[in-house]
Amino acid sequence: MSTTPEFTKLIKATKAKAKKEQRKNKKFFNRIKKKKPAGLTKAFRETNDEVFKKIDCLDCSNCCKTSLAVFENPDVVRISKHFGMPKKDFIKKYLTPHPDYDYLIKILPCPFLASDNKCSIYAIRPAGCRTYPPFRLQLSDEQLDVIYDNLGICPAANEIVERVMTKFADA
């Protein structure tokens, strides 16, 4: 199953919206990075749960198609073992080193994305995929940067940020 027509439209609109609202979003993220208002992490967590109640990622899969997944060393060890591949062969085939992470996937769409939009290594997927988008984590500046960078990729992330931004307009 590929991305549904509804989500194809939504993804396009999300990309355009993020571009149009780039300045407003940047200002908000700079503000909350400088001083995280009380209740911000809770608001992100609760809004995440509300928004994902109505979004089925299997209709979308845009992150797996357009965003380079992070593979840290423990992910590489676990997943290469699953395929019975020496770690160095797995790295050579799928990954590229990155200055901020151990590795990024080097092929898009992600080669582990199946034709039904499911992750073919779901049970052992990388930790970064497991927590994406990272609204349920304790929000560090690094996590906020990941969220900001994905506002034009993930329709759910865009909606969550929009709702939280409204709640914290005066904070």
Rounded CA-CA distance 131/67 in Å is 14
Of 32, 76, 95, 129, the one binding ligand SF4 by CB under 6 A: 129
The single residue listed with the structure tokens 């790295």 is 91
By the rule CB under 6 A, 55 interacts with ligand SF4: yes
CA gap 132, 100 in Å, rounded: 17
Stretch that binds ligand SF4, among 16-24, 25-33, 52-60, 84-92 (CB under 6 A): 52-60
Whichever of 36 and 149 has its CB closer to ligand SF4, that residue is 149
End-to-end CA distance of the chain: 43
Nearer to ligand SF4, 4 or 41 (CB): 4
40 binds ligand SF4, rule: CB under 6 A: no
- CA dist 86 and 67 (Å) reads 25
Contacting ligand SF4 within 85-124 (CB under 6 A):
110, 112-113, 119, 121
Establish if 76 lies at the interface with ligand SF4 (CB under 6 A). no
Distance (Å, whole) CA 80 – CA 56: 29
- Round to whole Å and give the CA distance between 127 and 21: 30
Q: Which of residues 90 and 133 has its CB atom nearest to ligand SF4 in the complex?
A: 133
Distance of closest approach, residue 34 Cβ to ligand SF4, in angstroms: 27
Measured from the CB atom, the residue of 31 and 128 that comes closer to ligand SF4 is 128
Pairing of strands 95-97, 70-71: unpaired
